[in-house]
Amino acid sequence: MLTVETLQSLAKPGENRETRQPTKSVLLVLDGLGDLPHPEYGFRTALEAASRSHLDQLAKEGVCGLLDPVAPGITPGSGPGHFALFGYDPLAVNVGRGVPEALGSGFNLQPSDLAIRGNFCSVFRENERIADRRAHRPSDERCAHLCGLLQQVSLGQAAVYVQPVSEHRFLLVLRGQGFSPELTETDPQTLHVPIPEARPLRPTARLTAEVVNAFAQRAYEVLQPETVIGGNGAAYPEERYGVLLRGYGKYPSLTTLPEIYGIRCGCVATHPMYKGVALLVGMDLLGDAHQLSEQLAVLEEYWDGYDFFFVHVKYTDKAGEDGDFLRKAAVISEVDALLPRIRALDPDVLVVTGDHSTPALLKSHSWHPVPVVLWSRHCGRDRVEEFTEAACAGGALGRFRGLELMPQIMANAGRLEKFGA
């Protein structure tokens, strides 16, 4: 197996053969890119339905394939999908989602902290069973207000930090000693059941389970007087608020991309989760973009200062999760139209792919492999002429594991020495 140590031993500075400048690589990730033929849209995938002239040109000039972010048949979460794209084995690096969310939203996470992803939910006052797992999606303002109340909770064994994320989502950090993330989640993923307690998965997590359950109980009490109000302003007087806790995680110790390859890495993302993963692998967060065109402006602005850029497009996944086939195709078309701005920067390596598939037909992440195109001046050639799932199946990259992408990017960037004599 190709280990981090082997890659590290092979890493070298990469230089463009003509300009003698350090080589630059761009990894453009369209979240949830992979799709399935949709019966209501002529049995095309969103990628097939999109305007793709620039992507197809890249496929003609580059080499294509299909990647399995985690393993064939495994549906990846966003964290594992991205760790794989950055060259880490997601089966080995399993970081609870609370960690990248905390880092990505600017929280100064300490190694002993337990980071937790929280959702406000609502339960029926009558029987204390879950009425809505998202508390009718409160407004961001209401979320901030409720988080203010949670911040009043004090626990003997931990300092409590609560931060609103958006709608029903918040971030909880418990600061103390001896915490373990090996607990069951308190989100039962279903309705009309009581909110379960966290249970330790190992004896060493018993204390943590007690603290987490104490927090949930105190949160339930401080939220008691509040009327449940949905995002549309409707009140639900028969319900009261609760919290569901999941994605427990602690700061992992990873050898970062700068440490492995000696590259300066920049992240151009719009959402905390992806920024958080980028920070964990040693990237700088660049700019403060909210839309794709702004992201490209950030890329252009920081072009000279970095060797590797991760550009994350969130809205393909959102459209897929919503089952909105046409919007997913439209986001891809928008990316296609902006691709020339990336090519105009003259990167040495350009890769377009996704972190997993999110077929609009399924309205969820899925196990299907993700199309990928890799272009460099010396990438070789195949017979793929369009950037679609079916065409990529016949490409020179073959079907491969996500973690095998990064060494190929670095090789194309001239940043890996020969192995052995």
Task: Give contact residues for a copy of itself (rule: CB under 8 A).
Answer: 1-3, 6, 10, 36-37, 45, 63, 65-66, 70-80, 90-91, 94, 96-97, 117, 246-247, 359, 361-362, 364-369, 378, 380-383, 389-391, 393-400, 404, 406-412, 416-421
Nearest alpha carbon to residue 35 among 337, 375, 312, 387: 387
CA 236 → CA 122, 123, 187, 227, 401, distances in Å?
9, 10, 21, 7, 47
Is the CB of residue 350 less than 8 Å from the CB of residue 375?
A: yes
Q: Which is nearer to a copy of itself, 4 or 337 (CB)?
A: 4
Q: Which is nearer to a copy of itself, 159 or 191 (CB)?
A: 191
Q: Which is nearer to a copy of itself, 122 or 366 (CB)?
A: 366
Is the CB of residue 172 less than 8 Å from the CB of residue 231?
A: no
User: Nearest distance from residue 290's CB to a copy of itself, in Å?
Assistant: 23
d(CA 85, CA 118): 26
Q: Which is nearer to a copy of itself, 298 or 397 (CB)?
A: 397
Q: Which is nearer to a copy of itself, 276 or 282 (CB)?
A: 276
386 HSE (CA, 13 A, CB side): 11
Is the CB of residue 6 less than 8 Å from the CB of residue 331?
A: no
User: Nearest distance from residue 128's CB to a copy of itself, in Å?
Assistant: 26
d(CA 351, CA 264): 17
DSSP 370-418: EEEEEEETT----S--S-SHHHHTTSTTEEEEGGGHHHHHHHHTT-BPP
User: Nearest distance from residue 219's CB to a copy of itself, in Å?
Assistant: 20
User: Nearest distance from residue 246's CB to a copy of itself, in Å?
Assistant: 7
Q: Which is nearer to a copy of itself, 240 or 275 (CB)?
A: 275
User: Nearest distance from residue 108's CB to a copy of itself, in Å?
Assistant: 22
User: Nearest distance from residue 149's CB to a copy of itself, in Å?
Assistant: 25
